[in-house]
């Protein structure tokens, strides 16, 4: 399980069940376990601080690479 945080303010965004190795490029909504903080503005997913972290694509969120950090069960940390 990964916890995604805003890169700008370090606030927890959501908890995500990552399947397979590699970078988190998109977050499938049915694998988002818990949402701590995020706001949606049109199709943009933002941290409450205003930082844009992803784009809503319907069934998944396309993540913006430099806008978030991950921690949790990810190898090669």
Q: Report the C-alpha gap between 53 and 76 in whole angstroms.
A: 23
* 61 near Zn ion, rule: CB under 5 A: no
Cβ neighbours of residue 25 under 8 Å, at least 6 residues apart?
Answer: 62, 63, 65
51 is a contact residue toward Zn ion (CB under 5 A): yes
Residue placing its CB nearer to Zn ion in the complex, 1 or 49: 49
- CB-CB neighbours of 37 under 10 Å: 15
In the bound state with Zn ion, the residue whose beta carbon lies nearer, of 29 and 51, is 51
39 binds Zn ion per the rule CB under 5 A: no
> What are the residues binding Zn ion (CB under 5 A)?
6, 8-9, 11, 47, 49, 51
């Amino acid at each position: 399980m990964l916890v995604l945080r805003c890169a700008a303010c370090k606030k927890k965004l959501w908890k995500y069940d990552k399947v397979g190795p590699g970078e988190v490029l998109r977050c499938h909504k049915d694998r988002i376990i818990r949402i701590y903080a995020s706001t949606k503005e049109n199709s943009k997913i933002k941290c409450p601080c205003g930082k844009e972290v992803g784009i809503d694509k319907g069934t998944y969120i396309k993540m913006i690479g430099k806008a978030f950090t991950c921690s949790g069960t990810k190898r090669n940390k």
